[in-house]
Structure 1
Amino acid sequence: MWPLIFNSYGSYFGSHPTEIYLDMYVTSIIKVDEKAQSLTTQVKVLIQWPIWDMQWDKKEFCGIETFAAPKNMFWTPDIGIMESIKTEFGTKDSPNVLLFYFGAAVSADFLSLTTACKMDLYRFPFDTQICNITFQSTAYSKRDVTIKLMSDQPYINHFSQDLFQAQGEWELLNISYTNSTIIRWLEFDQLIYQITIKRRPLLYVINIIVPVFFFLLLDVASFFIDTNGNDKLGFKVTLLLSISVMLLILSNTLPSTAEKLPLIGVYCCAVFCLIGISIVETILVNYLKAKGAKKSSVETTSTVSGQDDQNEEQSYTLDSLKQILTECWAATQRKQRQKTCLSLIGVARIIDVTFLVLYIITIIVFLSVLGKLWIP
């Protein structure tokens, strides 16, 4: 039951402030806009205030304890929501208030609230957000009106969980409250509700995190592709373009003015850079191998042409000593060129193997550190 109890001295704006009791229950979370930093919720708001000139003895009126009366016949407190961007009635605005025999009135409204909420997206999508909804009188100071909680916090949490309907991306964890005072020429009493919600990350894990991780695994596997052609380089470029698509999706979801770069952005950017570096390494290795293969083919051609010259020289009965010297010089040149070719190909293989080992170590260290920071 609500604590429908007021001070016996209470009156409108007399020597003591009028005590207004308020309850708010969250029935659903409609939308969380990370880019606009706003929260849209469906809430039920109960407001109770004293009307002392409407008391009656229920024994004299057939035991009637409550009845509904038009709202425009009575004074109603001007309680506003400070963070409100847009407030609409979830159902038609009730024209009545509920009167109690001991001099109290209660109004109940279902509201669709869009409120500003400063969100911390550092751990997106494993984040938990706390959004405030502040109730305050817009005209009456603390000397005239004070706002208090109607029910205790466990009851508000339990009742909100019972009324909560949506089973979407967000889960309602807790509703707490604090009383505060703000000074703007005058002191105004405030009742601040803190709504704690937690994101269900499965959708983002399936659509972004897991695909990017598999792109990274495919990049590691691409080191075992035969590098005789351009297949390996084309494969890596395709992976880089795929990561670019993921970054484009994130840019449409996350705000551009976040104080901290979300870890999911760090994750995608780091994978993008790693694949880019591996592409540069692949270009270098392919260049060295192609240069070595080109020198080898030139050597083979020169060997064939040398044999033709020898036949021609034999046909013209050249000096045997000159033939021996020419063959020795050609053999020496062939050995030097073969050593150069083997040296280039060997350097390319050493670079490829060394880079693969360092690449795997870097990935393991990066994912380990990121996982500790990211997943609570």
Structure 2
Amino acid sequence: MSWDPSEFCAIDRFVTQKDLFWTPDTIVLESIKTEFAAIEPPYVRIYSVGLVDMYDFLSLTTTCKMDLHSFPFDTQICSLTLRSIAHSDDELIFDQSLPSEEIILESQQIFQTQGEWELININTSTTNSYIMWISQSQRVFQITIKRRPLLYVVNLIVPVFCFLVLDVASFFIKASVSEKLGFKVTLLLSISVLLLILNDKLPSTASDIPLIGIYCIGIFTLIGTSILETIFVNALICKRENTKSENTATATGQDGGARDLNNSLDTVTSGHEEVTCILDILKLILMEFRAITQQHQPLESLCWIRVAKIIDVTFIVIYIITSVVFLYLLGKVWIVL
């Protein structure tokens, strides 16, 4: 439908009822739910060159295969395919009237909502699909969107990193082993809560583990290993206390035996003065034996403390190096992706 505007009072366009004109049966192949606007535009605009301008406002729920490996710093590409149900490419061809740059600019202006996604680019192409032997035209829009990661950085990544820093700092505080153990268990439970939140955010159909999952599980494992080391050091300290109490009891028994022997020797001395010299030598031997026993008592207990300190210092060094290397490698992969 076209006309010469000079023959009709320079009218090059007019608006009329939409129901008076034929409209193509257009569907979105990826749509699983389509909702039309509450009030559809009832008019169309017709130009003298034969162009018919019509608008439809739709709310679509579409399928999109997402790669969540670099979540929440991921970029997704989703497609929208427009195609007719009944018409072949001889009857209906899908094309675009605006250049791609203008479509991207207008779409970005409309896409200014403060949501989770940011519109990056839109690529369009016209292809043909075949149903039986009928060729049909279709228009494919590849929409590139990027996730805004600030929400997940503030709510997940930063808190988990702070828990790791607190766990490292707990090695340098002067507190009992039981207090350190309770503090570390609290950190582990806090990360467990964040893992539950992360599980609600990510779909269960992901083909591989996202990097943020590796990040949380890695720090969870580091803190769990730290708890095991604290329990082991606590066991060594308890063994030292048990050894000290056993040595104290042994020394007490030896002192009692030595006193009994001295009393016996004094009695023998009073009855047999001729062996006084021999008894004096025996007393000196007992005194030397008592001194040696008392000297070895603290050495055995200090041995366990020394072992515990060596294990603790070695674990702290290995723990810090492992944490730094893990965070560096994971951050490098995240930035590259």
Same fold (TM over 0.5): yes
Q: Could you tell me how far 1:325 is from its partner in structure 2?
A: 5.4
2:204 to 241, 253, 256: 256
Kindly tell me: are residues 66 and 230 of structure 1, through their superposed partners in 2, closer, same or farther at Cα, counting changes over 3 Å? same
Shift of 1:183: 2.3
Equivalent of residue 224 in structure 1, options 154, 168, 172:
172
Q: Output the TM-score relative to the length of structure 2.
A: 0.88
**Cross-structure match for 1:350:** 310
Work out which of the two has the higher radius of gyration on C-alpha atoms and give 1 or 2.
2
- Contact 1:125–1:199 (CA<8 Å) still a contact in 2? yes
Letter in 2 for 1:141: S
The partner residue of 1:149 within 96, 104, 125 is 96
Determine the C-alpha separation between the residues in 2 that align with 1:278 and 1:227: 16
Residues 73 and 147 in structure 2, CA contact (< 8 A), matched pair in contact too: yes
- Which residue of 291, 314, 329 corresponds with 1:369? 329
Amino acid at match of 2:163: F
Tell me if the contact between 2:71 and 2:210 (Cα under 8 Å) persists in the aligned partners: yes
Match of 1:112 among 32, 36, 59: 59
Task: Tell me by how many angstroms 1:132 deviates.
Answer: 0.9
Mapped to 1, the partners of 2:333 and 2:48 lie a distance apart of: 58
Deviations 1:261-288 (Å, cap 9, x if unpaired)?
Answer: 1100000000001111111111111101
The whole-number CA distance in structure 1 between the counterparts of 2:177 and 2:210 is 39
Q: Where in structure 2 are the equivalents of 1:1-376 lying within 5 Å?
A: 52=1, 55-185=2-132, 186-226=134-174, 228-316=176-264, 317=266, 320=279, 338-376=298-336
Partners of 2:120 and 2:145 within 8 A in 1: yes
Against the structure 1 CA distance between its residues 85 and 323, is the aligned structure 2 distance closer, same or farther, given a 3 Å change threshold?
farther
AA aligned to 1:271 is I
TM-score, reference length from structure 1 = 0.79
d(CA) in 1 for partners of 2:48 and 2:98? 20
Contact 2:36–2:57 (CA under 8 A) maintained in structure 1? yes
Q: Alignment length, in residue pairs?
A: 323
- Going from structure 1 to structure 2, the CA distance change for 1:318 and 1:127 (only over 3 Å counts) comes to farther
RMSD (CA atoms): 2.2
Higher strand share: 1
Q: 2:57 corresponds to which letter in structure 1?
A: F
Whole-angstrom distance in 1 between the partners of 2:84 and 2:115: 33
Structure 2 residue matching 1:181: 3-state secondary structure: strand
Opposite residue 122 of structure 2, the aligned amino acid is I
The runs of 5 or more residues in structure 1 that have no matched partner are: 1-51
Cα distance in 2 for partners of 1:67, 1:333 equals: 115
**CA-to-partner distance for each residue in 1:124-174, whole Å, 9 max, x for gaps?**
111111111111111112232211111101111122223333023222111
Hey, what's the Cα distance between the residues in 2 that align with 1:182 and 1:57? 37
**Unmatched 5+ stretches in structure 2:** 269-278
Q: Which is worse superposed, 268-277 or 154-163? A: 154-163
Contact 2:177 2:230 in 1 (8 A): no
Distance of 1:142 and 1:330 partners within structure 2: 109
Residues 191 and 307 of structure 1: CA distance in aligned 2, closer, same or farther (over 3 Å)? same
Post-superposition shift, 1:327?
5.3
Residue 276 of structure 2 corresponds to: none
Pairwise CA distance, 1:175: 1.5
- For the 8 Å contact 1:141–1:189, the answer to whether it is kept is yes
Name the structure with the higher helix share.
Answer: 2
Q: 1:332 to 1:257 in 2, by over 3 A?
A: farther
* Deviating more after overlay: 231-240 vs 85-94: 85-94
Residues 295-344 of structure 1, C-alpha deviations (whole Å, 9 max, x = no match): 11322233344334444444453665666555555555555554432222
Instruction: Provide the C-alpha distance between the structure 2 equivalents of 1:239 and 1:119, rounded to a whole number of angstroms.
Output: 32
